[in-house]
Amino acid sequence: MDWITTVDHKKIAILYLWAGGIFFGIGGLEAILIRIQLIKPMNTFLDAQTFNELITMHGTTMIFLGVMPVIFALMNAVIPLQIGARDVAFPFLNALGFWTFLFGGILLNLSWVMGGAPDAGWTAYTPLSSTGYSPTHGVDFYTIGLQIAGLGTLIGGINFLATIITMRAPGMSFMRMPMFAWTTFITSAIILFAFPAITVGLVLLTFDRILDANFFNVAGGGNPVLWQHIFWIFGHPEVYILILPAFGVISEVIPTFSRKRLFGYSSMVFATILIAFLGFMVWAHHMFTTGLGPVANALFSVSTMLIAVPTGIKIFNWLFTMWGGQVRFTTPNLFAAGFIPTFTMGGVTGVMLASAPADFQFHDTYFVVAHFHYVIVGGLVLGLFAGLHYWWPKMFGRMLSETLGKWTFWTFIIGFHLTFFVQHFLGLMGMQRRVFTYLPNQQFDLLNLVSTIGAMLMGVGMLIFLTNIFLTSRRPADAADDPWEDGRTLEWTIPSPPPEYNFKQTPLVRGLDAFWKEKMAGHKAMTPSEPVGSIHMPSATILPFLMSVGIFIAGLGFMFSRDEFSSSIMSFLFNNYIVTALGLLITFGSMLMRSLFDDPGWHIEPEELEGR
Amino acid sequence: MTTAHAEAANGTLPHEPEKATLEGRNKVLAFWLFLGGEAVLFGTLFATFLALRNQTNEGPSANELFHLPLVAAATFLLLVSSLTSVFAIQAMHRGRVTMLRNWLLVTVLLGLCFLVLEIYEFSVYIRHEEFGMTTSAFSSAFYTLVGFHGAHVAFGILWISVLIGQLLHKGLTVVTAPKIYVSAMYWHFIDVVWVFIFTVVYLLGKVG
Ligand code: HEM
Ligand SMILES: [Cu+2]
């Protein structure tokens, strides 16, 4: 119950981590099944339909339900602490964002047991995703599930923007803000401007499928390429929503374990902003082969390649930070160090793909698959591992085992390169993506076998990580405030795990890397910016949970509104939109409750603060 | 912040009660951000409409369909309602609670009239012109864009009504003021979107 009603950002972080972890596991299983099917030519382990469902759900689950929530987990766990705040700007909305994400994710995965998963690829290209080619409810689960989950992301984005703008501790100007807070800020801005586009796209596709609208239906005057534009104007910024937080993590971990300040801090900030801006200008590089014409292709080609410039600045700044530092290869830093070359390789293949004429050759082959897994797994997932190992003691008060951590790193990264390095060559040799099998003796056999073995090894790495978590959770929570001893930012100045009010007294920030600055001046703690006083806290509430349940019910009701059921009661309830209305009633009713009964919150008094 | 609370306690509100507390300022800021997202949302809908507005699939075209006097009347109602919501906020800043309530009521009523006209318009198209969601890509884009706006108006009416109820119950405080202020921002935004709809959908449909 405590967990269902919580509005504490640190607990919400743990909820995000759990939910994200579970979805990540599901996505991982799907990946293993895909790789088993491709282990040898003409395999009959899976049929074509199941294979399509698996690749669709794998991509969708991993991107929207796996890595996004883990990113949000880290942001929730760390951002208020890093900027010296007691909470986020809107704790209630924070909880709401989590629950809508979770119920959207559950809805999407219900498709496995309710008559067929989506099968049109994670990009849901029309007409493949129209009722003509995809007659089951699969794609409806996709459009409505993602719609609900996307709502949660948007809420989270606005919340972080407001939090970072207004809740920074005294003295923390924007140019003294830790890099992870910066990337969270920019990521949230991208979310704000990219997610509404996919919201519209999903609505249009839903209307086409459920209300027989004609947006993408050529026979009715619609245009399938319109879907691609809408999808990618969201989709390309989305990949920067994924990678920028990882950049942020790396920019925290490397300076800490090099005992040096981040090289070129202001150029890092500038590069982040530039990447976000350019990210919105390049969406059509996913559409070179749709026939946009040479002028459009050339423009999008060049603008895409421009992104390599700020990205390169970042890579060199990380290298210069390590250069001459007292580098310690703890587990987080191993992951960070592994990130740099791996991500760079993904960037290089990106520039190759950005060359429109070359892309005609690479498009829809395993070369593209290799590219985006190098950036998403070799970049983002390594970054998340670095961040999780780094902040675990702060989140849970327990140090993860370094030995197991190193085992995780080596099995995972070796498995990763085995899996995806060879896919570059499979792609160059012409193996198509999204096809459920291949003929023997095209020189695809051996490389596919290698790839599958690599995937298994990554799975082993994940299992070691889970073992590490399990063993750690049984040990006493005795991590020090600053367990890595070289912490530079504010989160390391308070106990691990932090008390629910975070800071007894809001700290005064006197420079970049505020804590490090105080340490160098010979102080053991931050100077407070206020006397100890009564702290106001928001009350726990069930309403965010209820609102999300309502939306979930409404979504299911709408999805089945055209179906005929064997029971006439069911038909009556669904076909007259009664279920939908009921769901919306729950949601709007909860909103009304929230509006009518103001939350006075509660106070933690100074005596209590001193007592602990 | 503390002075604002003190003032609220002895019955006098600061000049801008919506910005008197950190919560209030956060709310206004976040709402500006939210409207940024809404702008992208409507932008995408407009782009879709523009891409499909000539795809009539042998169904009625914009030129045959639209009846400008009706739409102009609706536009007038909505523009005036934006003005009355400005009066409401001005009344709030002067601390005139009754006047604030009345102007909000007028705003809601005008919004309702607008909505009635829109529903009437849609029903005419559907019944007499055989122009429904499924007729053509143009019809789908039309109903989705204009309907989305209509749904926003409907939500705004419900929302402001609840706020009027709150105003009667709790009076004007540093808690209710930001909500009222933010709802007025929302109402202006809807109005601006309508100006674009009037231009891009109706005027351009008639002449373009
Ligand atoms: C220097 C930076 C990058 C460049 C120049 C670049 C370029 C490209 C191009 C041109 C494609 C389209 C290939 C095709 O479909 O034919 C592509 C695909 C893709 N990229 Fe990148 N990329 C870069 C970085 C990233 C990053 C950072 C991510 C994610 C974190 C990413 C994720 C993806 C994904 C998911 C796809 C495949 C989409 C699909 O068809 O399913 N890329 N990239
Ligand atoms: Cu892209």
Going by pLDDT thresholds of 50, 70 and 90, the confidence category of residue B11 is low
Q: What is the pLDDT of residue B3?
A: 43
Question: Pocket of ligand 1, candidates A368, A420, A432: which has the most ligand atoms within 8 Å of its Cβ, to mutate?
Answer: A368
pLDDT of residue B10: 44
Residues with CB under 6 A from ligand 1: A 123, 239, 242-243, 285-286, 304, 307-308, 311, 347, 350-351, 353-354, 359, 362-363, 368, 371-372, 375-376, 379-380
Please report which confidence band the pLDDT of residue B8 belongs to, taking 50, 70 and 90 as the band edges. very low
Token digits of residue A277: 């801006």
* Cα–Cα dist B175/A282, whole Å: 44
Q: Which of A215, A232, A280, A590 to mutate to test the interface with B (most CBs of B within 10 A)?
A: A215
Q: Which of A269, A230, A221, A74 is nearest to A156 (CA)?
A: A74
| Candidate from A154, A211, A596 with C-beta closest to B37 | A154
**The pLDDT of residue A566:** 86
CATH number belonging to domain B38-53+62-207: 1.20.120.80
Is-contact A180 A78, C-beta < 8 A? yes
Burial class (CB in 10 A: 0-12, 13-18, 19+), A79: buried
CA distances from A591 to A152, A547, A586, A597 (A): 15, 7, 9, 10
Strand partners for A604? A535
Tens-place pLDDT, residues A12-55: 999 999 999 999 999 999 999 999 999 999 999 999 999 999 99
Instruction: Identify which ligand lies nearest to the alpha carbon of A303.
Output: 1
Positions of chain A with pLDDT lower than 70, given as ranges: 611-612
CB proximity B183 to A under 8 Å: no
CA distances from A85 to A179, A232, A266, A502, B2 (A): 16, 36, 23, 7, 19
Of the candidates B98, B119, B106, the one whose C-alpha atom is nearest the C-alpha of residue B172 is: B98
- How far is the first Cα of chain A from the last one, in angstroms, to the nearest whole number? 25
**Which of A66, A49, A55, A53 lies closest to A32, judged by CA?**
A55
Query: Distance (Å) from the C-alpha of residue B156 to the closest C-alpha of chain A?
Result: 13
Q: How far is A163 from chain B (nearest CA, A)?
A: 8
Task: Decide: A254 and A321 in contact? Cβ < 8 Å.
Answer: yes
Report the pLDDT value the prediction gives residue A599, as an integer from 0 to 100: 83
Q: How confident is the model at residue A611, as a pLDDT? A: 64
Q: What is the mean pLDDT of residues B9-26?
A: 80
Task: Quickly list DSSP for A117-161.
Answer: ---STTTT-TTTTSTTT--SSHHHHHHHHHHHHHHHHHHHHHHHH
Instruction: Characterize the bridge pairing of strands A535-537 and A602-604.
Output: antiparallel
A chain contacts of residue B134, beta-carbon cutoff 8 Å? 211-214, 220
Q: Alpha-carbon torsion A329, A334, A340, A345, what sign?
A: positive
Q: Tens digit of pLDDT for each residue in A177-226?
A: 999 999 999 999 999 999 999 999 999 999 999 999 999 999 999 999 99
DSSP A8-24: -HHHHHHHHHHHHHHHH
* Residue range B74-112, pLDDT digits in tens: 999 999 999 999 999 999 999 999 999 999 999 999 999
Residue A496, Ramachandran bin (φ over 0: left; ψ between -120 and 50: alpha; else beta): beta
Instruction: Give the Cα separation of B59 and A612 in Å (integer).
Output: 74
| Confidence tier at B207 by pLDDT (50, 70, 90) | confident
How high is the pLDDT of residue A608? 81
Cα-to-chain-centroid distance, residue A146: 13
Coil, strand or helix at A365: strand
C-alpha to C-alpha distance for B77 and A540, rounded to whole angstroms: 42
Written as six digits, the tokens of A263 are 């090289």
State the distance between the two ends of chain B, measured CA to CA, in whole angstroms. Answer: 54
Q: What is the pLDDT of residue A137?
A: 94
* The predicted structure's pLDDT at residue A596: 84
Whether ipTM > 0.85 holds is yes
Give residue B1's pLDDT band: very low, low, confident or very high (50, 70, 90).
very low
